[in-house]
Structure 1
Amino acid sequence: MPELLIELFSEEIPARMQARAAEDLCALLQKSLAPLMTAAPRPLFGPRRIAACGAMAARAETPGKEERGPRLGAPDAAVEGFLRKHGATREALEQEGQFWVLRKPGQVIEAAALIAERLPPLLRGFPWPKSMRWGTSDFAWVRPLQRILCILDGRPVPFALAHGEDAVHGLLAAGLTEGHRVLAGTEPFAVSSLAAYTAGLRERFVIAEAGERERIIAEGIERLAAAEGLEVVPDRGLLAEVAGLVEWPVPLLGRIDDAFMDLPPELMRTTMRVNQRYFALRHPDGRAAPRFAIVSNIIPGDGGAAIVAGNERVLRARLSDARFFWDLDRKQKLESFLPKLDAVVFHAKLGTQGERVRRLERLAGLIAPAVGADPALAGRAARLAKADLASGMVGEFPELQGVMGRYYALAGGEDPRVAEAIGAHYRPLGPGDAVPAEPVAVAVTLADKLDQLAGFFAVGERPTGSGDPFALRRAALGVIRIIRENGLRLRLLQLLDKAVAPILETLALAETEKARETLEEARKRGLIGGSMLTVIPGSPSISRGTSSETYLAKAWDIFDFLAERLRVQLRAEGARHDIVAAVFGAAPDDDLVRLLARSDALARMLATPDGANLLAAYKRAANILRIENRKDGPHDGPVEAVRLVAGPEKALAAAVATTREAVAAALAAEDFLGAMEHLATLRAPVDAFFDGVVVNDADPELRRNRLRLLHSLCAAMDAVADVSKIEG
């Protein structure tokens, strides 16, 4: 099958845009060339090119179409209009019933013609995040486009990016591309296939595959580091970025001056990564090493001495700047930065960072006893947690927020637990990041994330669809992970209520003040008479006693969001999220540890033969009740013992009564496995009942009593979980 290869060759493309652009190119090609593309194209990308390669049919025939026209005897004008619309003549019409019909034959689509037709508009509308125009052309690309390579079955497919009188400087698709700008020069070479393309680029010092460039960089740096008894600090994002900056990677090692080795290792790594795209190295015991790795895009003639020396000189300047901020910030206590936070807006509707710090201080103190932390230390840590945002270092490197606060707290003589909490309260930053474990750090971290959720939910900024500008999903998953991984027995609704209350009170007060100001202005302008009202009808109350229901409703809203994130997390782990939903449906529980323990016990029971059969019996009973309730239900009254005539129904009634009591006692004691074991004992009497008893007996009293017995069976199981929500 013919092979299609397309390459867009330009000036250097920002590394962060390359992968997405190549994927977009593949998706657009598959959509635009859909009649002939047989599979999704394969993306290729690098510093100066994005490309796609895939198989497609040489030609295809579209199916014929049948268009129904005017009725027989319609005015000539109607018939002529129909023919003009479809570019046909009257001879092509056929009579079918009471209508004229036009049958259009299928068309043969040639691949080369389709490519030449579809590619120009595709490229003109390419979705770059940012693009530019150059010269007199109105064509926009991320950087000036220099060549278009388009090969189909070994032959070039020429097309121009023409648009009206704009010929884009005569740029025409052909079968040529270029290698490395420095090592191979600008002389183009011909390409006839993907194999010839990748081989030709390699001969001209370009590795076409981004994955291979990453491998060369990673293995090269690891080899150089190992030769000196060191290891590379893992940084997957930096590796991918550097692979997008070089076409022919050559790893080299440089040295860091000993004068800078007393700087915090996180500071050195951030300086090297953010400013220079250098890789940090460390000793096997984790200590920072006085070495760094760089990746050259050329083969140095002197073994890299000049390149290394130049980068060492640049790094000295960068680290000198970092030392300036480090020394300057440590001249004052961390607490002295706090007044500046009153001038830093956190969110237009939620006030300043200073206001938020006061909320965190209060909330962390309330959370502390529940997680085994000292309330005074938790409050102190929360008070200082955001102080480093006003420091010079974090102003220069926002990535170091929290990290620098920890160092400044230690330098200022704060309790080590307070410093640890300051450094850890942003965690976890991602799925692979560890959660805080020290109690004070846990209290501050939970306060930070719960306040974040409460604040943005209070002002109506909850996530919608794929949009989550304030990272509330990440905050919710962080709360869940902290609770699960530390086994915390927390009443989340109570904590959320305490987090929501001061925010809603402040918002209500702001609305009240705004209304007062509006009335005062109207009075001054003579729009209303009388004195300024002291009580504004309809203004929001800021009394906690009268607004508790509003606060609790908002807390439930946030808790529902957390519960949904928990289900997402469990689904990602391959766990039975439907069982969690079933347990929660029976007894809404804001203690996540207890909820998951109960769910785990139920999952174990359902995995046994008794549990599986009991689930099937429940569904059978529920189906019978649903059908019969439509007729003359509901059948939810008490079971009448005198009307239990058959042995199996007497046994089932006794078993249900005994099991309900035993299950209730076990659940109260949080003996969830015991509760499920008691529930599983119902399997035998349930089987015997369905085998030996006709539910819809001819005697209406017996029928009604047996339906009530089935209802009692379902109710006994629903006390453990809403079994109707369990899948399968």
Structure 2
Amino acid sequence: MTGATLLVELLTEELPPKALPKLGQAFADGIAAGLRTRGLAAADGAFRWFATPRRLAVTLAGVLPEAAAREVTEKIMPVSVALDASGQPTAALTKKLEAKGIPLTAVAGFERRLDGKAEALFHTSTVAGAKLAEVLAGIVQDALKALPIPKVMRWGDGDATFVRPAHKLTMLHGTSVVPGSVLDIQSGRTTRGHRFMSRGDIDIASADAYEPTLLAEGKVIPDFAERRADIEKQLVTEAGRQGATLGEYADLLDEVTALVEHPTVYVGEFEAEFLAVPQECLILTMRANQKYFPLFDAEGKLLNRFLIVSNMQMEDPSNIVTGNQRVVRPRLSDARFFFEQDIKAGLTPRVVKLGSVVYHNKLGSLGDRVQRMSIVARKVAALLGADENLANRAALLSKADLLTDMVGEFPELQGTMGRYYALAEGALPVVAEAIEQHYRPRFAGDALPDTNIGRALALADKLDSLVGFFGIGQLPTGDRDPFGLRRAALGVLRILMESPLPLDLVALIDESAASYAPGLLGSELPGPLFDFMLERLRNQLREAGHAQDVVDAVLALKPTRIDLVVPKLQAVVAFQQLPEAAALAAANKRIVNILKKADVTPGEPDVALLAEDAEKALFHAIVEVAPLARSHFQNEDYTDALRVLAGLRAAVDRFFDEVMVMAEEPLVRQNRLALLGQLAGLMNQVADISRLSA
């Protein structure tokens, strides 16, 4: 039996644009999985997904009209229950066979074999394969139900529900319509093309003809990736003609691709006088509200031109261009009005109004928040050798732009507008930059603050959130993180680690907690918060490509100087390359286990109690290398420190070969435990070396 290409297309009202690629891929994956499970499509069979504003579709090659029959073996019941003493079927077996529709005469052909410790009867039968015509509608329905859709809607008089009203269903196997109903719609071969450029309803002759027919007769590019590539090519080409660049446009390109079926790029422009407004405002207005692509000069300065991705291809596009220019002008005028009004009102006068804005009902107002931030920012700035007064000024102004008209319209501009408004009222550039930079990093891969004032304020801001919400028990759970604490934690870690900054994380947590009013927070800090952040650090380091055993070894010591974590990781990796590493790691693991079982706190070893030559040799070896190793530790030369400690291998091996640690004499035993404790303390200053042992 040969297969043919299968087409499934659901035609709907306009689908959510930001979710369209995910919906298209998930729809195709669900249908492919359903067909494969039933043996109607090969496990590695090729398929393509399509998604436009008004359709989800998939084509799969080599789909069978009917799956091959297969043998199915099932356990019936234990022999002791199924057969009596004479080997005849019991009433229990007879009843079960009747329920399954298996004739009693088939018992003679049942297989007897062990099932665990008891013998059981097994029945093998041939089951007919699934028929495409009988199961396809159910597969499509299941695929639709499994789509990542938060809310569905009902339309018309039926009971069908989906993210948008559905109008047509096409299910073709080769050239034949596969009968079935999905969302109360009977399948057929008719679809619709572009709303305005198509010739009307379109018959699809065969599944293989789907894409070329839609393109030729419907004026629709159904493949999302191809449509995206076509738009990008037109954008880049037109930007080149304009002698301009596009800046960052990937996210907008995805969204626009989900809004058009037959894209054509045109050039629009606006009055140059609007360029007096900060370009971030104009860019966001064009991108977020109008889905336009702003154009920039070689230095990244905004031009008074933009690109329009239209869903219409016209010989004379002047009406389209004029219409879009007419639409964008009021938007830009609003942005200019907001900016001018905010400048008049000033930034500093808004600071006092922060006291009337609730930050959280248990954590006070935004005014309380900036006061706490200023305390921490001053202390961090002092530790970094920066001006405490400038840090204080930046902290007090940092949230004032939240009360401006511009940020009220575009929350994404918080910090950015604070910088502009601070400069407008005469603030020092370093203060204005800190206001903008204290939100960094906003997302994975985002730039970090690049001034010490900005770093101090960014740390104060993120630590205030972490300490506050942990202090009142509002911890992230599962996928829920309403206050963005995971992002804040990663921001703190990245600033400390990548800047890098020689600051103690636990001390920072304590400083932030101390800025809160007494009794406001619980008494659990900093432990749970520090552990939470270390776990975020563990995941971040693994994602960055560091080996799991190395990460676990370094973080096992719960380092509080996050800036030293990466150098320690590098030192451990270098240590692993030494020939002595494996033996020392194994010995260290043995030491840890011995000390744990001894359940005592070893002190300093007493030279007078060293009886065996091997333990004397180990003691003198430790005394010899300890000063140099400690010197390297203090100078943060972790690789050299571990290399020096590798020289202890011979003495350690001899000790374990010749010395009984758990001697009968209590003083001798305690002294040997003290010696091992001294060794473990020396060796594990960079990482828990025992965790490197296989």
Task: Report the TM-score, using the length of structure 1 for normalisation.
Answer: 0.83
Number of the residue aligned with 1:622: 589
Note the C-alpha offset of 1:357: 2.1
Number of the residue aligned with 1:185: 199
Contact 2:190–2:201 at 8 Å: present in 1 too?
Answer: no
Note the C-alpha offset of 1:621: 6.2
Secondary structure in 1 aligned to 2:344? coil
Number of the residue aligned with 1:326: 339
Cα gap change, 1:299/1:696 in structure 2, threshold over 3 Å: closer, same or farther?
Answer: same
CA distance in 2, matches of 1:719, 1:86: 68
Note the C-alpha offset of 1:635: 12
CA distance in 2, matches of 1:681, 1:216: 63
CA distance in 2, matches of 1:92, 1:129: 51
Number of the residue aligned with 2:52: 46
Cα gap change, 1:590/1:191 in structure 2, threshold over 3 Å: closer, same or farther?
Answer: farther
Number of the residue aligned with 2:647: 681
Query: Is residue 413 of structure 2 the alignment partner of residue 380 of structure 1?
Result: no
Number of the residue aligned with 1:64: 73
Corresponding letter in the other structure for 2:493? I
Query: Is residue 125 of structure 2 the alignment partner of residue 105 of structure 1?
Result: yes
Cα gap change, 1:86/1:205 in structure 2, threshold over 3 Å: closer, same or farther?
Answer: same
What pairs with 1:74-153 in structure 2 (closer than 5 Å)? 82-83=96-97, 85-93=99-107, 103=123, 105-112=125-132, 113-123=134-144, 126-152=147-173
Number of the residue aligned with 1:604: 574
Note the C-alpha offset of 1:62: 5.1
CA distance in 2, matches of 1:199, 1:87: 50
Number of the residue aligned with 2:115: none
CA distance in 2, matches of 1:571, 1:135: 52
What pairs with 1:424-573 in structure 2 (closer than 5 Å)? 424-503=437-516, 505=518, 507=520, 551=523, 553-573=524-544
CA distance in 1, matches of 2:197, 2:74: 56
Contact 1:360–1:382 at 8 Å: present in 2 too?
Answer: yes
Cα gap change, 1:390/1:62 in structure 2, threshold over 3 Å: closer, same or farther?
Answer: farther
Note the C-alpha offset of 1:289: 0.7
Structure 2: tracts of 5 or more residues without a match: 113-117
1:495-531 Cα shifts (integer Å, max 9, x gaps): 21121234473536xxxxxxxxxxxxxxxxxxxxxxx
Number of the residue aligned with 2:421: 408
Which moved further from structure 2: 228-237 or 364-373? 364-373
Number of the residue aligned with 1:534: none
1:641-674 Cα shifts (integer Å, max 9, x gaps): 764347xx76554323322343233323433233
Number of the residue aligned with 1:238: 252
CA distance in 1, matches of 2:514, 2:95: 70
What pairs with 1:205-284 in structure 2 (closer than 5 Å)? 205-284=219-298
Cα gap change, 1:577/1:451 in structure 2, threshold over 3 Å: closer, same or farther?
Answer: farther
Note the C-alpha offset of 1:172: 1.4
Which moved further from structure 2: 127-136 or 435-444? 127-136
Cα gap change, 1:435/1:62 in structure 2, threshold over 3 Å: closer, same or farther?
Answer: farther
CA distance in 2, matches of 1:581, 1:376: 40
Secondary structure in 2 aligned to 1:82? helix
Number of the residue aligned with 2:564: 594
Please give the root-mean-square deviation of Cα atoms over the aligned residues, in Å: 3.5
CA distance in 1, matches of 2:369, 2:680: 49
1:650-699 Cα shifts (integer Å, max 9, x gaps): 65543233223432333234332331231122245556778xx56679x9
Note the C-alpha offset of 1:177: 3.0
Secondary structure in 1 aligned to 2:309? strand
Number of the residue aligned with 2:691: 725
Corresponding letter in the other structure for 2:67? R
Note the C-alpha offset of 1:275: 0.9
Query: Is residue 319 of structure 2 the alignment partner of residue 299 of structure 1?
Result: no
Number of the residue aligned with 2:13: 11
Secondary structure in 2 aligned to 1:346? strand
1:559-606 Cα shifts (integer Å, max 9, x gaps): 2222222222211221245434323434x4311123333332232232
CA distance in 2, matches of 1:315, 1:7: 36
Equivalent position to 1:654, from 616, 620, 625: 620
Which moved further from structure 2: 250-259 or 101-110? 101-110
Which moved further from structure 2: 286-295 or 39-48? 39-48
CA distance in 2, matches of 1:229, 1:199: 35
What pairs with 1:694-713 in structure 2 (closer than 5 Å)? 713=679
1:23-50 Cα shifts (integer Å, max 9, x gaps): 3323433554423251485432121111
Secondary structure in 1 aligned to 2:123? strand
Note the C-alpha offset of 1:336: 2.0
Contact 2:373–2:395 at 8 Å: present in 1 too?
Answer: yes
Cα gap change, 1:393/1:711 in structure 2, threshold over 3 Å: closer, same or farther?
Answer: closer
CA distance in 2, matches of 1:232, 1:215: 15
Contact 2:497–2:565 at 8 Å: present in 1 too?
Answer: no
CA distance in 2, matches of 1:616, 1:121: 56
Task: Report the TM-score, using the length of structure 2 for normalisation.
Answer: 0.86
1:307-366 Cα shifts (integer Å, max 9, x gaps): 111111111111111112112111112122234433433233323322222222222222
Cα gap change, 1:229/1:124 in structure 2, threshold over 3 Å: closer, same or farther?
Answer: closer
- Matched residues, percent identical? 37
Note the C-alpha offset of 1:460: 1.9
Cα gap change, 1:435/1:126 in structure 2, threshold over 3 Å: closer, same or farther?
Answer: closer
Which moved further from structure 2: 64-73 or 655-664? 64-73
CA distance in 1, matches of 2:628, 2:681: 14
Secondary structure in 2 aligned to 1:106? strand
Query: Is residue 629 of structure 2 the alignment partner of residue 663 of structure 1?
Result: yes
Number of the residue aligned with 1:512: none
Query: Is residue 553 of structure 2 the alignment partner of residue 582 of structure 1?
Result: yes
Which moved further from structure 2: 406-415 or 20-29? 20-29
Contact 2:438–2:458 at 8 Å: present in 1 too?
Answer: yes
Corresponding letter in the other structure for 1:599? L
Query: Is residue 448 of structure 2 the alignment partner of residue 420 of structure 1?
Result: no
Number of the residue aligned with 1:285: 299
Number of the residue aligned with 1:644: 612
Number of the residue aligned with 1:511: none
1:131-177 Cα shifts (integer Å, max 9, x gaps): 22221011012222122222335543221137xxxxx2xx2123443
Secondary structure in 2 aligned to 1:349? coil
Structure 1: tracts of 5 or more residues without a match: 163-167, 509-549
Note the C-alpha offset of 1:381: 1.1
